[in-house]
Amino acid sequence: MQNLLSDPYFYAAAVPAVILVGLSKGGLGGAMALIGVPLIALVTSPIQAAAIMLPILIVMDIVSLWTWRGVWDGVTLRNLLPGAMLGIALGWATAALVTPGAVRLIVGVIALAFVLRWLTQRVARSERTGRHSLVRGTLCGALSGFTSFVAHAGGPPYQVYALPLKQPPALYVGTSVIFFAVVNAVKLIPYFALGQFDATNLAASAILMPVAPLATLAGAWLVRRMRPDIFYPFMYAMVALVSLKLIHDGIADLWM
């Protein structure tokens, strides 16, 4: 434990990682949510990086729930959460079989196709507001739960379902906060069962924890001041960056 916690390179990577993820959890979303684990993985293994980040994500979720309290869409949650639970269970059952690289590549391709479709509609000026769908919600929720468990990449599948609804920014963020708070809380059970939380990882999480609420509140402050005509193009741009990063990381993992 001493080697990791006394390594200055660990803090040089981990502190910026927590700040960027906190801004994302506050409502900015996008690529910042996915950069946390890869940054910490520069100085430790990806598995250990994910285990260190999960308790911090739980704290960020608590702050976000308080910040966005009372703002949520029940239909979105009812359509997505049951599928997410199935996805987490599938991730747990196949933890020894599925490689994070393959999951990143699949999710990246899906998310990039989603953004390209949006851009095509914008150019053709035929963009339509999406509608709720239990079938689509179950599929997107299951993919989000599975990829969140395996690769901490649950954001793009959620956005594939939620962004076309064109909800007010506060409603979109408040609903996503509840969704991922539930997903992360449920993930604690299989992570404990798989032995991901040892003394070293928990100590590292505790040291980084004070940074989490400040970064999360900063992200929420920024979102509350963004107009919808700025918020949604920004979010789609972030999804595009996320998809490219996932594709790059997935190909890199599989190539190795």
Q: Residue 142 carries which DSSP code?
A: H
Residue 28 has pLDDT above 50, yes or no: yes
Residue 1 has pLDDT above 60, yes or no: no
What pLDDT score does 79 carry? Answer: 98
What pLDDT score does 99 carry? Answer: 75
Q: What is the pLDDT of residues 89-139, one digit of tens each?
A: 998 998 778 777 777 787 678 778 778 877 887 776 666 677 999 999 999
Cα 256 to Cα 122: distance, rounded to the nearest angstrom: 38
CB 133 within 8 A of CB 79: yes
Residue 245 has pLDDT above 50, yes or no: yes
pTM (2 d.p.): 0.79
Q: Domain coordinates of the chain in residue numbers?
A: 2-255
Residue 175 has pLDDT above 80, yes or no: yes
- In angstroms, the Cα distances linking 70 to 27, 66, 177 are 15, 9, 11
Q: Mean pLDDT throughout 8-29? A: 83
What pLDDT score does 127 carry? Answer: 60
Q: Count the Cβ atoms, other than its own, within 10 Å of residue 29.
A: 26
Q: Mean pLDDT throughout 62-87? A: 95
41-50, 140-149, 187-196: which has the minimum mean pLDDT? 41-50
Cα 240 to Cα 101: distance, rounded to the nearest angstrom: 18
Cα 16 to Cα 203: distance, rounded to the nearest angstrom: 18
Residue 169 has pLDDT above 60, yes or no: yes
